[in-house]
Amino acid sequence: MIGFLKPLWGYRGFIYGSVKREFQSKYRNSLLGGAWTFLNPLAMIVVYTVIFSQVMKAKLPGIESGFAYSIYLCAGVLTWGLFAEIVGRGQNIFLENANLLKKISFPRMCLPIITVLNASV
Protein backbone atom coordinates (compact mmCIF):
# COMPACT_ATOMS: atom_id res chain seq x y z
CA MET A 1 0.00 0.00 0.00
CA ILE A 2 2.76 2.45 0.87
CA GLY A 3 4.53 1.67 -2.41
CA PHE A 4 1.34 2.69 -4.22
CA LEU A 5 0.92 6.01 -2.40
CA LYS A 6 4.54 7.19 -2.37
CA PRO A 7 4.76 8.12 -6.07
CA LEU A 8 1.38 9.84 -5.87
CA TRP A 9 2.50 11.89 -2.87
CA GLY A 10 5.53 13.03 -4.83
CA TYR A 11 3.26 14.32 -7.60
CA ARG A 12 0.65 15.96 -5.33
CA GLY A 13 1.45 19.38 -6.84
CA PHE A 14 0.78 18.03 -10.32
CA ILE A 15 -2.48 16.46 -9.15
CA TYR A 16 -3.61 19.63 -7.37
CA GLY A 17 -2.72 21.82 -10.36
CA SER A 18 -4.54 19.51 -12.77
CA VAL A 19 -7.69 19.46 -10.63
CA LYS A 20 -7.63 23.25 -10.29
CA ARG A 21 -6.99 23.81 -14.01
CA GLU A 22 -9.76 21.43 -15.07
CA PHE A 23 -12.28 23.01 -12.67
CA GLN A 24 -11.43 26.50 -13.94
CA SER A 25 -11.60 25.50 -17.60
CA LYS A 26 -14.94 23.72 -17.08
CA TYR A 27 -16.71 26.86 -15.90
CA ARG A 28 -14.62 29.58 -17.56
CA ASN A 29 -17.19 30.80 -20.10
CA SER A 30 -20.37 30.02 -18.19
CA LEU A 31 -22.63 32.74 -16.85
CA LEU A 32 -22.69 31.59 -13.22
CA GLY A 33 -19.24 30.01 -13.16
CA GLY A 34 -18.58 27.54 -10.35
CA ALA A 35 -22.09 28.06 -8.96
CA TRP A 36 -23.27 25.45 -11.48
CA THR A 37 -21.47 22.88 -9.34
CA PHE A 38 -24.11 23.44 -6.65
CA LEU A 39 -27.08 24.63 -8.70
CA ASN A 40 -27.39 21.57 -10.95
CA PRO A 41 -27.68 18.93 -8.18
CA LEU A 42 -29.77 21.32 -6.05
CA ALA A 43 -32.25 21.84 -8.88
CA MET A 44 -32.48 18.09 -9.44
CA ILE A 45 -33.14 17.49 -5.73
CA VAL A 46 -35.82 20.22 -5.64
CA VAL A 47 -37.59 18.75 -8.68
CA TYR A 48 -37.46 15.21 -7.27
CA THR A 49 -38.65 16.44 -3.88
CA VAL A 50 -41.61 18.29 -5.36
CA ILE A 51 -42.61 15.40 -7.59
CA PHE A 52 -42.16 12.56 -5.09
CA SER A 53 -43.03 14.29 -1.80
CA GLN A 54 -45.76 16.67 -2.90
CA VAL A 55 -47.32 15.23 -6.06
CA MET A 56 -46.95 11.50 -5.33
CA LYS A 57 -47.06 11.89 -1.52
CA ALA A 58 -44.14 9.48 -1.03
CA LYS A 59 -42.95 9.12 2.57
CA LEU A 60 -40.33 7.07 4.33
CA PRO A 61 -41.76 4.26 6.48
CA GLY A 62 -42.21 5.39 10.06
CA ILE A 63 -41.40 9.06 9.39
CA GLU A 64 -44.13 11.61 8.76
CA SER A 65 -41.95 14.57 7.75
CA GLY A 66 -41.84 15.39 4.04
CA PHE A 67 -38.27 16.63 4.39
CA ALA A 68 -37.04 13.18 5.41
CA TYR A 69 -37.70 11.98 1.88
CA SER A 70 -35.75 14.98 0.53
CA ILE A 71 -32.73 14.00 2.60
CA TYR A 72 -33.09 10.43 1.39
CA LEU A 73 -33.25 11.64 -2.23
CA CYS A 74 -30.30 13.97 -1.72
CA ALA A 75 -28.11 11.12 -0.49
CA GLY A 76 -29.02 8.96 -3.46
CA VAL A 77 -28.83 11.62 -6.17
CA LEU A 78 -25.48 13.00 -5.06
CA THR A 79 -23.95 9.55 -4.64
CA TRP A 80 -25.23 8.39 -8.02
CA GLY A 81 -24.02 11.60 -9.70
CA LEU A 82 -20.54 11.12 -8.26
CA PHE A 83 -20.42 7.47 -9.33
CA ALA A 84 -21.74 8.21 -12.84
CA GLU A 85 -19.24 11.01 -13.43
CA ILE A 86 -16.28 8.96 -12.20
CA VAL A 87 -17.21 5.96 -14.35
CA GLY A 88 -18.13 8.07 -17.38
CA ARG A 89 -14.95 10.11 -17.36
CA GLY A 90 -12.75 7.24 -16.21
CA GLN A 91 -13.48 5.18 -19.30
CA ASN A 92 -11.50 7.46 -21.61
CA ILE A 93 -9.10 9.19 -19.22
CA PHE A 94 -5.99 7.68 -20.79
CA LEU A 95 -7.17 8.36 -24.35
CA GLU A 96 -8.07 11.98 -23.55
CA ASN A 97 -4.65 12.58 -21.99
CA ALA A 98 -2.57 10.68 -24.55
CA ASN A 99 -0.58 13.78 -25.49
CA LEU A 100 0.22 14.45 -21.81
CA LEU A 101 1.32 10.84 -21.35
CA LYS A 102 3.70 11.15 -24.30
CA LYS A 103 5.26 14.44 -23.16
CA ILE A 104 5.58 14.14 -19.38
CA SER A 105 6.82 11.32 -17.19
CA PHE A 106 4.54 10.83 -14.18
CA PRO A 107 2.78 7.90 -12.47
CA ARG A 108 -0.17 6.82 -14.61
CA MET A 109 -2.26 6.41 -11.47
CA CYS A 110 -2.39 10.22 -11.19
CA LEU A 111 -4.97 10.43 -13.99
CA PRO A 112 -7.70 8.36 -12.27
CA ILE A 113 -6.97 10.21 -9.01
CA ILE A 114 -7.45 13.53 -10.83
CA THR A 115 -10.76 12.26 -12.25
CA VAL A 116 -12.04 11.18 -8.83
CA LEU A 117 -11.01 14.49 -7.23
CA ASN A 118 -12.65 16.53 -9.99
CA ALA A 119 -15.87 14.57 -9.63
CA SER A 120 -15.73 15.03 -5.86
CA VAL A 121 -15.40 18.79 -6.17
36-71 confidence digits (pLDDT tens)? 778 888 888 888 888 877 777 777 788 777 677 778
Q: How many domains does the chain have?
A: 1
More confident residue, 91 or 28: 91
User: Alpha-carbon distance 83 to 94, whole Å?
Assistant: 18
- How far, CA to CA in Å, does 80 sit from each of 20, 87, 96? 23, 11, 23
pLDDT digits (tens, 9 = 90+) for 101-114: 888 888 888 889 99
Domain of 110 in residue numbering reads as 2-120
